Amino acid sequence: MQFNVVSLFPEMVGTIGEFGVVGRALQRELISLAFENPRDHTTDRHRTVDDRPYGGGPGMVMKFQPVADALLAAKGKLPDGCPVVYLSPQGQVFDQAMAKRFAALPGMVFLAGRYEGIDERLVEAHVDVEISLGDFVLSGGEIAAMAVIDAVVRLLPGVLGDDESAAQDSFMEGLLDHPHYTRPEEIAGQRVPEVLISGDHAKIARWRTKQALGRSYLRRPDLLEKLDLNDEQQTLLDEFLKEQSQ
Ligand code: 4GN
């Protein structure tokens, strides 16, 4: 899958390719990561990418022309039909289902804004989807783009090894993850739940599902409301709540 990021700070976004899962995917050429800097598409002596907002007020706005030209250059290097994604708090909230849909595409262009935002006519003319990571404000879209790229890359076939399979992750089944433990068995009197050292794999799987359901119920009831629990899951959740109240 090919990613192209339009950003005034391409080196910042490039760091995702230096580490961990995304770094390995890049080395193995399962993905490519390229950049287009609007500043390289300016025509004036000062290489100006921003200007004062119509209507007044504080801050600056990214100018249409250098960003549009950078976007067109980025799109031109990808197969036809790759969407342009703009990261902003005004967007649709990003989730795992969206990550799965993106992972089926041949490529994506991310537009990382700075200052107070980009000229809205650019959004209307060139942006296919505006997405948000949640209700908070960053000083630029780069970190949001990096987060989305990471979430998508780890879903691509062959990126994760068998032992780190994404299928078992939190959210892959619409639930929060279960707790995890490693050695030693006891830390300051806190023991690893006995079931996890029992060697009974069916029992362990049942315990993990129960924890995932219970934590989702307690911490993110909105997630559970979206699911239609089967009888087995409802029984596990009832057991969790009964154990919880003991
Ligand atoms: C995305 C971008 C927050 C998000 C952003 C988010 C940069 N902040 N919640 N900041 O996903 C002005 C220019 C705001 C683009 C935008």
Q: Which pLDDT belongs to residue 168?
A: 66
Pick from 9, 12, 88 the residue to mutate for probing ligand 1's pocket: most ligand atoms within 8 Å of its CB. 88
Q: Report whether residue 53 contacts ligand 1, using a CB cutoff of 6 Å.
A: no
DSSP state letters, the chain: -EEEEE-S-HHHHHGGGGSHHHHHHHHTTS-EEEEE-GGGG--STT---EEPPTT--SS-EE-HHHHHHHHHHHHHTS-TTPPEEEEEEEEEEP-HHHHHHHHTSSEEEEE---TT-B-HHHHHHH-SEEEESSS---SSSHHHHHHHHHHHHTTSTTTS-GGG-GGGSTTTTSSPPPP---S-SEETTEEPPGGGGS--HHHHHHHHHHHHHHHHHHH-HHHHHHS---HHHHHHHHHHHHHHT-
Position 164 scores a pLDDT of 84
Examine the residue annotation and report whether 116 is marked as an active-site residue of this protein. Answer: yes
The response to whether residue 111 sits with its C-beta less than 6 Å from ligand 1 reads no
Amino acid 172: pLDDT: 63
Residue 202: predicted pLDDT: 98
Question: Is the CB of 144 within 6 Å of ligand 1?
Answer: yes
pLDDT of res. 171: 75
133 lines ligand 1 (CB under 6 A): yes
- CATH architecture, domain 2-153: 3-Layer(aba) Sandwich (3.40)
pLDDT tens-digit profile, the chain (246 residues): 999 999 999 999 999 999 999 999 999 999 999 999 999 999 999 999 999 999 999 999 999 999 999 999 999 999 999 999 999 999 999 999 999 999 999 999 999 999 999 999 999 999 999 999 999 999 999 999 999 999 999 999 999 998 887 776 667 689 999 999 999 999 999 999 999 999 999 999 999 999 999 999 999 999 999 999 999 999 999 999 999 999
Q: Is 89 a catalytic residue?
A: yes
Looking at domain 170-245, its CATH class is mainly alpha
Does the active-site annotation cover 228?
A: no
Catalytic residue among 114, 154, 208, 215: 154
- Ligand 1 centroid, distance to 176 Cα (angstroms): 26
Distance 25 CA to ligand 1 centre (A): 26
135 part of the active site: no
Instruction: Kindly list the domain boundaries of the chain, sorted by start residue.
Output: 2-153, 170-245
For residue 149, report the distance from its CA to the centre of ligand 1, in Å.
15
